[in-house]
Each structure stands twice: as structure tokens, then as C-alpha cells.
Amino acid sequence: MQFRHRAIAVFVLVAVTSLALLSIYLLQPPAPKPANAPVTAFSATRAMEHVQHIAGKPHAMGTAEHAKVRTYLLQEMQKLGLDPQVQEAAAVNDMNGVAYVGHVYNLIGRLRGTGKKGKAILLMAHYDSQPNARGAGDDASGVAAILETIRALKQNGTPAHDVIVLLTDGEEYGLYGAKAFMKHPWAKQVALVLNVEARGNAGPSMTFELSPENGWVAKQYIREAPYPFVSSLAYEIYKRMPNDTDFTVFKDAGYSGLNSAFIDGFVHYHKATDSPENLDIRSLQQHGSNMLALTKHFANIPLSQTKAPDSVFFNFIGSWVINYPQELNVLWVALITLLLLVTVKVSRQKGGLTIRQVLISFFVYVVVLVLVVVMIMLINNLVLAELPFSHRSNGVYSAHEFFIAYLLLALGFFLLLSWFVLRWLRLLALFMGLILVQFVLMMVLFLIIPNATYLLLFPLLFSMGGLLLVLLLGLHEVPRVDLRYTLVMLFASVPAIFLLMPIVQVVFVAFGLQLPAGPIALFVLLLGLLLPLLWIVEQSLGWRQVPVLPLVLLLLGGIQTYRAVGHEKPSEERPLHSHISYYLNADTGKAQWATYYQTTDDWNRQFFTEASRKTLSDMYPQATLEYLVSDARSIDVPAPVAEVVSDTIIANERVLQLRLASRRDAAHLELVLQPKDTASLHEVKLAGEELDLKPLDTKEGKVYYVRLHGLPVNKQVELELHLAPDTPLTLHLYDQSIGLPQELVKKPKPAHVIAEQGGTSNITVVRKSYSF
């Protein structure tokens, strides 16, 4: 009998583990098609050639490498017969009275359709990179997917609708290219937008964002995409987040469309390691295969009505996507409420449960859930303390290893706590309590985020159905290690595993050690629904009333955590991210090194022998953020120039026109305007764009701040100021280049160190003040 029990336990363990792994595996991107694939098909191998050209080096807007990439893309678009054009324009972001201006070079082409003039499909990706990133995933993969899609599309015959290709500039600094395109006459002809992005360099291509009133778009995508990965849960969550992509500009303007990205490999996001050799070619294949299929479809169907009420959609098993109208949620919730009432009644009649026992179990399960999450968070804090060079915003190289470790620990803690609880609570009572907890959570989702209700609804529906069947067949009265009981509960757990486990994996890998609480909490909800099966395994593999399985799992989780921490040691393959920049005031000759982080690493420590925490107020009057700052030797470089083009009085107003320029070919400019008083400054225009500025309080008085991202090729830009007559003005002008003064770097950067992400890392800033 003992052998039979253990055989069933092993069967359960293998079955549950296999289903969990299968649920994740079936969503992985497809194998890449070779270069000799049929010309009508999308080939990731061919697309990868574009990635290698685009992502050879960092190519942020305003840099020489950016211009080289632009030249290459124009040539490729010309080869594809897109008759490309360059849209040189400026766009403005106003943020609390501070103006950010982007001077962009959008690349636009058009594949003409057979139909008469009408609506067109827009394929969009951005070709600029972050300042210190090679940008293979973000977003050379998207650009390459579009180019290869157009090549294959032409081999499939001419579409009915025109297909517009938009390779935007300046996405990384503020969605400037997408905003600038809205001024282009072609923008009014767009009926549908397909945008491709990346927040990493691997994993399945997820369609995480759709336009509002997504019912029609979702239905078409689900039906036509060969490798769909989509979720109304992701749609609901993302629209509540502050994150933006180029697609945001079109979505906010009322356009229909969808946005896809792969999000694994977050540690490479915006880093030098986002390189072609680190890009998963399978992710590129999924990007492109879906885009080609969707473009062929949308370009040949009527586009007069692209909006319909939001619907519910999600991957169930692999690429099998379930889609139904949102209104059906009411029916599903009513059904599950009825089933809950029936199950409670039958459990009281057949199982002898009382309402008091169920309520006690309800609170016990809540405590177990909270305790497991808290313990994982405590472990996570200990892990982060062992990673002094890993900043939370960067992710970790061993995300998948930490994922396995934290799941083992969470499972071990959950089973150990359940072992203690079940010494004085019946299994049936505890299971009914956790069903009630999940029912309450499901109702919260239904009321707050109705399109995400499915996440808990269907797992709960099947689990309660399984429990009800067990009660009606009287299987709860037989020993727990029973094959019939096991098969019923195993079948009932399949929806829970296939719906919850991929979400747990995707969310954990996406955020790594930043936010492990969410995926771990969801994992514990899954474990609750699997409790009858897990208890079979624990009871059958126990020894002399000792919780062997939980202790073994905790031991394995600890070992795996130790291994994952060890794999984070900086190396050439897994470099640390170092933050350091150089600031020079050309008027005073004073220079500084600065880093945003409080700790230094074994490379940038050379710049901070005598450092202190303070703001950069010597450079920026309005500075408020504290940096770790150390004095530096000044270098002899040309300062930015502000030349008077004209200074006239028109209609009793002083109009001052200045030409701002960088004589050292910098990428960006910054301006701090300091008039005599705020009332004297009437209007400010930069690059022809009127700015909405508000004064900032400083020790030197009120000032106005403007940043220009992406200096034009000639490294000049026009500034126009309207002031009260005879009003003096001080201009603090800064030019910003990417890279440090190499003559001041005594210890060259080793292979295991790369520049930190972001626009304040690995830059040289030179300030020059002018009075007019």
C-alpha cells in the first residue's frame, strides 16, 4: 500500500511539474527561418543582417553614428522601392514648465497598394538607441522586422491598401519622432498602426498594448497572427502604467492598432550588452512572422471600422487564444457564484464542514499568503545586499536562476506552513477557505479591472468543479492518496496551471528582483488551488511525521539562490554598470566628476578619491538632486557658442534672435534662461517651436530651463526670445556629448565594466554663460 501511495505521489509530482514547464515552453518564440527560406516568408536570418548593421555601435540621436545608421536605412528603404524621405522636424514635450525639444530625422517610405486613395497601414519602429546602448533589441529588431516584412510582402503580391513605413527618431529621449510625424500629411491617411518594440533581448513577442475599443483589432490579431501572445490583463495593466512608447502618441490621438515587444533579458535593456550577438533570433522571428501575417491581412481588408467594444482575450494553452465579449463576464461571475454556493452547501452536507471552519480557513490562508510573500521579500533584500554593483533598475543576469530559486523557496514555505496548519485544520476546510479568498480577489478584479477577471475566474471555476465532483462521488471519504481522487483534482488544476504559471514566469523575468512580490503572490494563489495534489505528495514522501518535502525544497531553494548570486559576479559576459560623468564650467575653469549612486565600483572609484554628496548647483542653478561629486582637472575644449543674429525692437518688444552652436560636435544642448524678472520674458522659441515655460526658484533668482535633444547635423539651432525693451538676459548654455574625456581616465575601462544606462551617464557637459 505504501508503495502504491508513493507511486501516485511521484505521478502527481511529475504531472504537475510537466504541465507547469509545458505551459511556459509552449509560449516560447519559434525557431528562426534560414536565409534560404521561401522568399514569401519572413526570415529572421535575413533580418538579423539589418540588426548587425544598425546595432554595431550606440547610435543615439545627435551623434555621428546615428547619422551613419540613417544613411544605411535610407539605402535599404530605397532598395525596397519605398521611395524614402527624411522628415526633419522638431517636437516639444512640456513637463511642469520645463521644455524638452527634440530635433528629429524621421525616415518615411510608402509601398503603394492597388486600391484608390484611402486609408493606409502604418508599420512603426524607432531607429535611435539609448546613449550607451547598441540597441539590437531596442529597437533594431523592430526596424529589421519591418524591412524584412516589406521585402516578403512584395513577394506576396501588391496589397490593396498602401503600407507606410515610419522609422522614428528620438523615441528614447521622449517620443519626439512619433510626435513630429503627426504634423506630416500622411498621418491623416493612417487607419491602423502596428508598432514593434523591445524591453530586453529575448523571450516571446507579446502584444501587450492595444488601442481603446480593441474588440475588432484583438479579433483580427488572434485570428491572423501565427504566434499570438496577447492578454487583456496586460492591456489593462499597461494602460494604468506611466510607461510610454511611440504607439502612445497614436493611441492618444485616437488611432487603432497594437504594440508588441519581447521583455526577457531586461538586464540588457538600454545597455551596451543589447548587442546583435546577445539578441535571441527566435524573438526576432516571432516579431516578424506576426508582423508579416498581420500586414498582409490588414492591407487587404476594409478599414472603415476598426473599433469595437473591448473584449476579453488570453492565451490558454500555447498559441490557443480565447476571446469573448466583455459582457459575458457577468454570466461567468454569476455562474461561479452559484457554483460557490452549491459547493459550500454540498461540503457542509457531505464533508461535515461548518461556516465557522471555512471562515477560519479563509483568514488562515490569507496569513499563509502574506507570510510566504514577506519571507521571499526578506530573502530578496538579503540577496540585493550581496549584489553591491547591481542597481535595482537594471535587472539581473541570472533572472531565470533566481526565478527557479524563489519558486522553490515559496513552494517550500507554503508546504511547511500548510503542514503546520493541517495539524489542526482539515484539508477540506482549508481548501474551501482558500477558494473563498480567491473568489473575493476575483470579485475585486471584476469590479476594478473586469477584463482581467479571467485570470482567477477560470482556474477557480475548474477547481471548484473538481472539488464538487469529489464531494458528490464521495471521494473525500476515501484515503487522500487515491487514484480517482488524484485524477479528478489533477484535471481540475489544468486551467490554473496554464493560465497562472506563464504569467508568474513572464512577470518575474520582466522585473527580476525589483518587484518579486507580485509574481510570488500569484504563484501562492496557484499553489492554493494545487493544495490537494501537493498534500498527496507531501504525505506520501514524508518520514516519521517530519515535513521532508518542504525542508528539501527550502534547502534546494537556498542552494539555487546561492548559485544565482554567485553568477552575478562581474565578468566580460556579465559586466557591471558604472555611472560617471564629467562637468566643466568654462567660465570658472572648475570641473567635477559626478555619479548618481552613493557607492563606487572598482573602476569609477579612481575619480572619487575625495568625494562628497551634494547637488550640481555649480553647474545648474536649479539643481536639486544630490550626486557623489569630486573635483576634476579642467580640459581645454571649445565651449558652446551663442551668437546674436538680430536684436531689434518690434511693436515695443525686444526680439532677440540667437544662433546656438556646439563647436565640439556635441549631441545635445541645455539652456538656463535668467531674465531680470519673470514678467520681462514674454515668449521663447527654439528650433521654431514655441515653448511653454514656467520659472524655477533658485538661490540666484528665478530661471527657465530648456533641453534640446539631438542637435542638427550642422550642430546649430535658432533661439528666439521676446522680452520687454531694455531688459538684460543671462543665458547659461551647455553642450552635452556622450563619452568621457579620455585624457583624464587614468585606468582604462576593463572588459567587465560598461556604462550605466540613461542620459546622465558617461557624458561630458561644458557650460558657458552669456549676457545680452
| Per-residue pLDDT band at 479 (split at 50, 70, 90) | low
Residue 457 exposure: Cα atoms within 13 Å on the Cβ side: 26
What whole-number distance in Å separates Cα of residue 204 and Cα of residue 287?
8
What gap in Å lies between CA 423 and CA 427, rounded to an integer? 9
Q: What is the largest CA-CA distance in the chain?
A: 102
In 3-state terms, what secondary structure has residue 428? helix
Report the pLDDT averaged over residues 391-408: 93
Q: What integer is the mean pLDDT of 229-246? A: 89
The whole-number pLDDT of residue 480 equals 60
Q: Is residue 252 scored above 80 in pLDDT?
A: yes
> Per-residue confidence at 2, pLDDT binned at 50, 70, 90?
low
> How confident is the model at residue 237, as a pLDDT?
85
pLDDT at position 351 is 77
C-alpha–C-alpha distance, residues 315 and 292, integer Å: 21
Average pLDDT, the chain: 94
CA distance 332 to 312: 12
Q: What is the pLDDT of residues 90-143, one digit of tens each?
A: 999 999 899 999 999 999 999 999 987 778 999 999 999 999 999 999 999 999
Q: Residue 678 pLDDT more than 70?
A: yes
> Helices 517-529 and 483-511 meet at what angle, rounded to 10?
170
Asked if pLDDT for residue 512 goes beyond 80, the answer is yes
Compute the distance between CA of residue 526 and CA of residue 505 in angstroms, rounded to an integer: 12
Q: What is the pLDDT of residues 191-231, one digit of tens each?
A: 999 999 999 999 999 999 999 999 999 999 999 999 999 99
Which of 304-318, 459-473, 532-546, 653-667 shows the lowest per-residue confidence on average (mean pLDDT)? Answer: 532-546
CB-facing half-sphere around the CA of 343: CA atoms within 13 A: 26
Residue given cell 544565482 in the structure block: 564
Alpha helices in 89-245 (DSSP H): 141-155, 171-174, 176-181, 215-224, 232-238
pLDDT at residue 478 in the model? 61
First to last CA, the chain: 96
**Beta strands at 753-755 and 576-578: parallel, antiparallel or unpaired:** parallel
* Pairing mode, strands 590-595 and 581-585: antiparallel
Q: Which residue has the cell 520659472?
A: 695
Strands 256-262 and 162-168: unpaired
At 563 the three-state DSSP class reads helix
Q: What integer is the mean pLDDT of 605-622?
A: 93
* Cell 503542514 belongs to residue: 419
Give 660: exposed, middle or buried? Use CB within 10 Å, 0-12, 13-18, 19+: buried
Per DSSP, the three-state class of 410 is helix
Is residue 770 pLDDT above 80, yes or no? yes
Residue with C-alpha cell 533658485?
A: 698
Residue 334: band (very low, low, confident or very high) from pLDDT cuts 50, 70, 90: very high
pLDDT value of position 116: 75
Q: Where are the alpha helices (DSSP H) in 129-280?
A: 141-155, 171-174, 176-181, 215-224, 232-238, 246-252
Q: E strand or H helix at 17, and its extent?
A: helix 2-25
Q: What angle do CA 132, 32, 573 make, to 5 degrees?
A: 35
Average pLDDT estimate for 65-69: 97
The amino acid that residue 534 corresponds to is L
In the chain, pLDDT over 70 holds for what percent of residues? 99
